[in-house]
A and B are shown apart, each in its own frame.
Chain A
Amino acid sequence: DQQVKQNSPSLSVQEGRISILNCDYTNSMFDYFLWYKKYPAEGPTFLISISSIKDKNEDGRFTVFLNKSAKHLSLHIVPSQPGDSAVYFCAARYSGGGADGLTFGKGTHLIIQP
């Protein structure tokens, strides 16, 4: 039972263009969403987050959009740079109960082509 789904295992984008990574979730109780970036042999690094009371959050080249009715969020990277090549994980949390650890998707491997 996968509560957070990233249906694209990999994505290839040309340098300078926009990268769009998608994530769907099934648990309507989730109220906090995060994106992490992971390089090989390193732990995931926090990128950006969004609370369920918002529909957009922006930080430099990174923007996260949340569509609660569709249970969908996306990460936009503009412009894409070679250093953005990594695995991106979508994660979600429900803060109203005792178990509030993050639930992760399987990840999307983003490859930025020169």
Chain B
Amino acid sequence: EAGVAQSPRYKIIEKRQSVAFWCNPISGHATLYWYQQILGQGPKLLIQFQNNGVVDDSQLPKDRFSAERLKGVDSTLKIQPAKLEDSAVYLCASSLDRYNSPLHFGNGTRLTVT
């Protein structure tokens, strides 16, 4: 089966600019996650969707980050305006269901904010 697709792979922007990341999950996977991984840390959950509804966005900085999953398939994560501390790898993952299925990750987007 095809894996989780993410684009772009790399992005360099200046602080206060905006940026968007795209994710296409594995076909049939109802649950989609966005994680942020800062260098030297483990991935940190930003937002979780079940189909096109938000399950958990408690750790999403909502003043600058937004995410949507229209039609319950593809998802986009946006940052506006970006800060230096947003430099990280943004990972998208999907799973067949919420509880006893592992998450399958894409290769991520490496964001550098200068």
Q: Which residues 23-46 in A have Cβ within 8 Å of B in the complex? A: 32, 34, 36, 41-46
Say whether B58 contacts A99, CB under 8 Å. yes
With contacts A43-B4, A43-B91, A46-B104 taken as known, whether A99 is within 8 angstroms of B40 at the C-beta atoms is no
Per-residue CB contact flags for chain A residues 93-106 toward chain B (1 = under 8 Å, else 0) read 10100111111111
Given the known A-B contacts A34-B102, A99-B55, A101-B56, are A42 and B107 also in contact in the complex, defined by CB atoms under 8 Å? yes
Contacts between the two chains (Cβ within 8 Å), count: 61
B44 touches A44 (CB 8 A): no
**Distance, CA A97 to CA B43, complexed state (A):** 20
Report chain A residues within 8 Å CB of B99. Answer: 32, 93, 95, 100
Contacts of B41 in A (CB 8 A): 106
Q: Does B25 contact A (CB under 8 A)?
A: no
Which residues of chain A come closer than 8 Å to B91, judged between CB atoms? 43-44
Q: In the complex the two chains form, is A41's CB within 8 Å of B102's CB? A: no
Contact between A45 and B42, CB atoms less than 8 A apart: no
Interface size class on chain A is 20 to 34
A19 CB-CB contact with B under 8 Å = no
Distance in angstroms between the alpha carbons of A7 and B99 in the assembled complex = 27
B100 pairs with A43, CB closer than 8 A: no
**Interface membership of A51, Cβ < 8 A:** yes
- Chain A residues with CB below 8 A from B56, complex form: 98-101
Q: Do the beta carbons of B100 and A102 come within 8 Å of each other?
A: no
Say yes or no: B107 contacts A101, CB within 8 Å: no
| Chain B CB within 8 A of A111 CB | no
What 7 pairs between A and B have smallest CB-CB spacing? A104-B42, A43-B105, A46-B102, A101-B45, A99-B56, A95-B99, A101-B48
18 residue pairs of the A-B complex, CB under 8 angstroms, read A6-B42, A32-B99, A34-B103, A42-B107, A43-B4, A45-B105, A46-B103, A91-B42, A95-B98, A99-B48, A100-B56, A102-B43, A102-B45, A102-B103, A103-B45, A104-B42, A104-B44, A106-B42
